[in-house]
Homo-oligomer: A and B are copies of this chain.
Amino acid sequence: MNSCEWCNYKDSKWLIYKSIYWSVYLADVQDYVGRCILVLNRHCECISDLNTLEWIDLKSLIDQLEQIYKEVLGAELCNWSCLMNNFYKETNPNPHLHFHVRPRYKNPITINHHSYVDVEFAHHYALKKEPVLIAEDRQVLFEQIKSHFKLKVKSVDILLSDSEVLRE
């Protein structure tokens, strides 16, 4: 059995948000602007091995991402996938559950004064596509998405503090 890269992953440079069960990273390969990867915090091989709390938490992260992609970045739709193929190139696969999301844009999206066009819009995402986003724009995009996740957490905090006020 190979050791698990995701279980050993410590780099939080591109970590947008970490919930109890999942970590959301801005993907290395920005072939589609805003592409993220949602990684389960514990080792688990497939969707059917997720428990109900992990599944429900995943939905709340999907809800947040879809809202940010559509309302902040202007995406039309999102392509979600859970494939896991690469792990099976190994003789003894040791898959770690994760989801990919690629927001898809009908209109050009502007990041840091640069315009990006989703040339495959309304078609399947291209395989082995080169990243389109330049390094400094990736940093700007990261901060933009992360700040909106923060707002969400803040609103939950307010909700919690409100409920505490009500209880007093």
Contact = CB atoms under 8 A, between A and B. Distances in A.
Interface in A30-75: 46-48, 50, 52, 55-56, 59, 62-63, 66-67
Q: Is the interface of A mostly helix, strand, loop or mixed?
A: mixed
Contacts of A93: 76
A158 interface: no
Contact of A88 (B56, B88, B89, B122): B122
Contact of A83 (B52, B80, B87): B80
A79 interface: yes
Interface residues of A, number: 36
A76 B104 contact: no
A77 B66 contact: no
A47 B76 contact: no
A44 to B, nearest CB: 12
Contact of A80 (B63, B81, B87, B125): B81
Nearest to A120: B85
Residue among A59, A78, A125 with the most chain B CB within 10 A? A59
Interface of A: 46-48, 50, 52, 55-56, 59, 62-63, 66-67, 76-89, 93, 95, 104, 106, 121-125, 127
Given A50-B59, A80-B82, 18 more contacts: A47-B62, A47-B66, A48-B62, A52-B59, A55-B55, A55-B59, A56-B56, A77-B95, A79-B82, A79-B83, A81-B82, A83-B125, A85-B104, A85-B122, A85-B123, A88-B104, A88-B106, A89-B122
